[in-house]
Amino acid sequence: MPTYTDTWTADPLTGKDVGLFFGVIHEGVTPTGTPDDTLTDFVLDPTTYAPFYPATSQTKTFLADKTDVTVYDDGVAATISTFDPVTGKATLSAAPATGSKMTADCVEQRELYIAQNAKLTPNQDEEDLNQLRCSTTLTSYGNIEFTLSADFKVADLEAMKLIFEETATDGIYQYPEEPPEIYCCIVLYENSSITGLIYCDDVRADFTDIISAKAGKDAVENGFELTIGSVPLLVDVSESAT
């Protein structure tokens, strides 16, 4: 735990020290590489899918590793020896046979513009318990629901595309029947270096308002809300080995 010789000199975090990142799931991706009994390197196009989100590894560097991608050889998950999050190259421990159909799953990292705020709120079920012959009221604690809310000024369509689903026609998206599942991470910085991360899994994303615009004002995507289905994890970079 940090100690301060003068607690009044500790600099508080401000908005510039907080980043909000999302992880968009991609399944059935076709990697580059033609199986020929010898090839072990297959590439997930970094121009389309990078930066890769560390959905499984949840690293302190916020960089993906081999546990964050899956490469399938004719539908069967292959063993990945190494993965380069910059180039998107996954090296398999064994070469697929000639003619094998190769696919892959990965999670793309996105930072949406222009984020105005972010608030992560826990809400736990509580019930007061009163007992006969006892004057003390006890409290029973139940399930916890976590909600992340954020507002974005509209600089592009990326925030909407986080919600709207792709269709068979390039460039056409449709509003889904239920909120899509994504990942989310709040990153804390000090002097541009990461000091902590709050990883959120099983996230469902939804809009309160898709867009809100007034004459003379910036257009805003108002009330972007995420419901988190698992307990968030806090990674302290100074303490974590990975």
- State residue 168's pLDDT score: 85
* 119 and 231, same domain (yes or no): yes
**pLDDT, position 222:** 61
**Structural domain ending residue among the three candidates 106, 136, 168:** 106
Query: What pLDDT was estimated at residue 6?
Result: 66
For residue 217, the model assigns a pLDDT of: 78
Residue 202 in any domain: the answer is yes
Q: Are residues 82 and 133 in the same domain?
A: no
Residue 18 lies in a domain: no
Side chain identity at residue 106, one-letter code? C
* CA torsion angle 110 113 116 121 (round to 10): -20
pLDDT of amino acid 96: 97
Number of domains in the chain: 2
Question: For residue 48, what are the domain limits?
Answer: 26-106
Residue 217: other Cβ atoms inside 10 A: 9
Are residues 62 and 120 located together in one domain of the fold? no
CA distance 101 to 107: 21
Q: Residue type for 22, please?
A: F
120 with 68, same domain?
A: no
pLDDT 10s per residue in the chain (242 long)? Answer: 666 666 667 778 888 899 999 999 999 999 999 999 999 999 999 999 999 999 999 999 999 999 999 999 999 999 999 999 999 999 999 999 999 999 999 999 998 777 788 889 888 888 888 888 888 888 888 888 898 888 887 777 877 788 888 888 988 999 888 888 899 999 999 988 999 999 999 898 877 777 778 888 777 766 678 888 889 999 999 998 88
Dihedral, CA atoms, 219, 225, 226, 232, nearest 10 degrees?
100
Q: What is the pLDDT of residue 185?
A: 95
Domain-located, residue 21: no
b/e 142-181 (16+ beta carbons within 10 angstroms → b): eeeebebebbbebeeeebbebbbeeeeeeeeeeeeeeeee
Last residue of a domain, one of 106, 133, 164: 106
In a domain, 17, yes or no: no
Q: Are residues 133 and 205 in the same domain?
A: yes
As a whole number of angstroms, the distance between CA 209 and CA 194 comes to: 32
Residues 123 and 232 in one domain: yes
Contacts of 203 (CB under 8 A, 6+ apart): 148, 181, 182, 183, 184, 226, 227, 228, 229
Q: Which two tokens stand for residue 98?
A: 């000639």
Question: How many whole angstroms separate alpha carbon 152 and alpha carbon 129?
Answer: 42
pLDDT at 2: 65
Looking at the fold, whether 82 and 121 belong to one and the same domain comes out as: no
Residue 46 and residue 156 in one domain: no
- According to the 3-state scheme, what is the secondary structure of 95-149? CCCCCCCEEEEEEEEECCCCEEEEEEEEEEEEEEEECCCCCCEEEEEEEEEEEEE
Residues 92 and 168 in one domain: no
Strands 173-174 and 165-166: antiparallel
- Asked if 48 and 134 sit in the same domain, the reply is no
